[in-house]
Every structure is written in structure tokens, then in C-alpha cells.
Amino acid sequence: MAGRSSVTVRLARYIQAFPLWLFRFVEWPFVALFGKQRGNTAAIFVLALPRSGSTVTYQSICHGLTVNYLSNLWHLFYQLPLIGGWLSALKARHHRSDFKSRHGFVPGLDGPAEGLRFWQWWLDTGLSDRDCDALPVAKRQARSGYLRRVFSVLARSGQPFATVYLGHTLVPDRVNQAFPGAVVIRLRREPVSNALSLLKSMRANGTDWFSVKPHECEGLDAATEHERVAAQVYWLNRRLDSAACAETMLTVHYEQLCENPEREVGRIRNCCVESGVPVERKFELPELFQFKRADVKADPDAIKIREALDKLEAKYGKLEVVE
């Protein structure tokens, strides 16, 4: 399977480096004429921790629902969101997922994209807190306002926008305020299993941190690897627990999605319809996905992670538990 270091991906990054925003005058008239400024945003945002099952959840939504999702092709044209959205809609109209990925990367032009460059540009959201404050507030609001109108134009085809970007976990209220009326989903995974998966990814990549790093984890480079992943999972969950929009989010559990994908995607669709973001079913989903639970009695790594999480909860407070 092609990864992030493939020739195709490197070529795509060169294209993304071009100042394509200079050609925004081509799409601007359509946005000005047909983009609504008020009403519910026809969009679905999934907020998830790294290694919490975000990719398979994204693939399930793109496969099971008729959404206009942020694809690799759209991400290529991230500075021209309406043109990129139109091209993506044509390419990904009949997308069927094989539910394979490599650490979140799904190959192919119609593959669901994580969207780092897209969301850095349009919502000033990176993968650390210091990378979420590069733009003046007025400029960020202008960009997100333009993007909201783009989503309105694209939704005229009856397909709401869908995205799963890990950096949004750092700024849940910013997402909710920038796209009012959008369906916001919180994906949960059992914390020890989540941290154990992070630990394995760190070891595989030979890094001290993997993906999203909240500011509470700064200064922990001297901590043990078990303490680092435990802190990452703890503080990102706390960020979502304390968000002003926490009570309005739809909770989806990774374990339950794996046990019954059809049921959980059906729940997502029902929530969308009830929220005024209508979406239709697309293709049938597999009966189940395989997943692993951490063995906190026999796995030495899981035991150390559980101990580190217990210390954090004793010092800073318990994480919310939602059944």
C-alpha cells in the first residue's frame, strides 16, 4: 500500500505548495450567489483522539452515507475549496471503502483525507496548541465564513460535507462556533487501549510523540513513554469533556462501531436528520471490524499505562465515563 512517502504523495505536496488561492476569483461568484450565510451548516465533524479509530469511522461514514467528504483530491486543491469540492464530488461519487489504511493515510484520489493543510488554512488548526493561533481572529473568522458558504453551495446536491480531522480535538468550541448547526460527533475509545495503540505507533515510527500534542504535554519529554501516551490521552479527553459544546455532541464508541458498523452509522444518520442535516444511506457496511482491547492484567505496557492514568486522575480529576 502506498504511504505518505510515495512519489505520488510527494508530487501532491509540490502542487499544494503553489499559490492556488490566486485563482479563487473563478469560484468566488458561485459562492457569492449561492452560498447561504445563515441556517444550519450542512456538515458532519468527527472529533477524535489519534489512534482512537478515527480512520475506520471516517471510512464507515464515507462508505455508508451519501456525503461529500474531504478526499485526497479535494485536499490537493485546499486553497480552492469549491473547485476542490466539485472535483471531489465527481471522483468520489461512487466511492467504496476497502477499510484499509496506514496510520490514518488512505491512498487514492478518492481516499478520505486527514486534511492538515486544509484545516490549517481555513480554521487555523494544527496538531498542537501553538499551531492553532497563527492567524488574527478576524482573518480566521473570514476564512471559516467563506468555507461555510462553500459547504452551502455543495450541499445543494443533497450531500452534506463530512470530515474527521484530529486537530479539531484541540479546538472543539471553535469548530462548533465556526459551523453553527453542524453535526458534531465525539468518537470515544477505552483510554488504556487508546494509549496502548499510541505507544505502539510511537515505537513503530521511532518518535517521542505521535500526532496531536496538547499544551499540557509540553515539558514531558523526560517522562517515560507510558506516562507520555497516558498524558496525551488524558488531556485530549479532558479537552473534549470540558468543551462548551460537549453536551450537544453525539457520542460514538469505537468498540461499538467495530461490533456493529451498520447500527452505529445508522445512529449517525438519524442524528443528522434530527439536526436538520439530511443524509441518505449509501452502501452496506461489513458485519464487524476486528479490534483489540488492552489487557490490564497481563500486558506489561497496559499495566504501566493504567498506573499512569490513575495518577493523572488522582491529581487532576476523573475522566468522564459515558456508556
User: Most confidently modeled of 19-23, 37-41, 192-196?
Assistant: 192-196
Which pLDDT does position 4 carry in this prediction?
52
For residue 305, count CB atoms less than 10 angstroms from its CB and return exposed for 0-12, middle for 13-18, buried for 19 or more: buried
Listed in sequence order, the residues at least 6 apart from 81 whose beta carbon sits closer than 8 Å to its beta carbon are 27, 74, 118, 122, 146, 147, 150
pLDDT digits (tens, 9 = 90+) for 128-150: 999 999 999 999 999 999 999 99
pLDDT digits (tens, 9 = 90+) for 49-63: 999 999 999 999 999
How far apart, in Å, are the Cα atoms of 181 and each of 4, 123, 140, 178? 34, 17, 19, 10
What is the spatial distance between Cα 23 and Cα 282, in angstroms, rounded to a whole number? 34
Query: Using the 8-state DSSP alphabet, how is residue 65 labeled?
Result: B
Which pLDDT does position 102 carry in this prediction?
83
pLDDT digits (tens, 9 = 90+) for 262-296: 999 999 999 999 999 999 999 999 999 999 999 99
- Smallest Cα–Cα separation from 67: which of 98, 40, 88? 88
Which pLDDT does position 37 carry in this prediction?
65
% of the chain at pLDDT higher than 70 = 94
Give the mean pLDDT of the chain: 92
Listed in sequence order, the residues at least 6 apart from 83 whose beta carbon sits closer than 8 Å to its beta carbon are 26, 27, 77
Which pLDDT does position 146 carry in this prediction?
96
In the predicted structure, residue 105 carries a pLDDT above the cut 90: no
Helix (H, G, I), strand (E, B) or coil at 188: strand
Half-sphere exposure of 52 (CA within 13 A, CB side): 26
* Displacement of CA 246 from its chain's centroid (Å): 16
What's this model's pTM, rounded to 2 decimal places?
0.93
Which pLDDT does position 23 carry in this prediction?
84
Per-residue confidence band for 16, with pLDDT thresholds at 50, 70 and 90? low
In the predicted structure, residue 120 carries a pLDDT above the cut 90: yes
Which pLDDT does position 1 carry in this prediction?
43
In the predicted structure, residue 301 carries a pLDDT above the cut 90: yes
Residue bearing the bigger pLDDT, 154 or 4:
154
Per-residue confidence band for 71, with pLDDT thresholds at 50, 70 and 90? very high
Q: 29-191+245-290 architecture in CATH? A: 3-Layer(aba) Sandwich (3.40)
- Smallest Cα–Cα separation from 169: which of 30, 41, 47, 24? 47
Helix (H, G, I), strand (E, B) or coil at 134: coil
Residue whose entry in the numeric block shows the C-alpha cell 449517525:
268
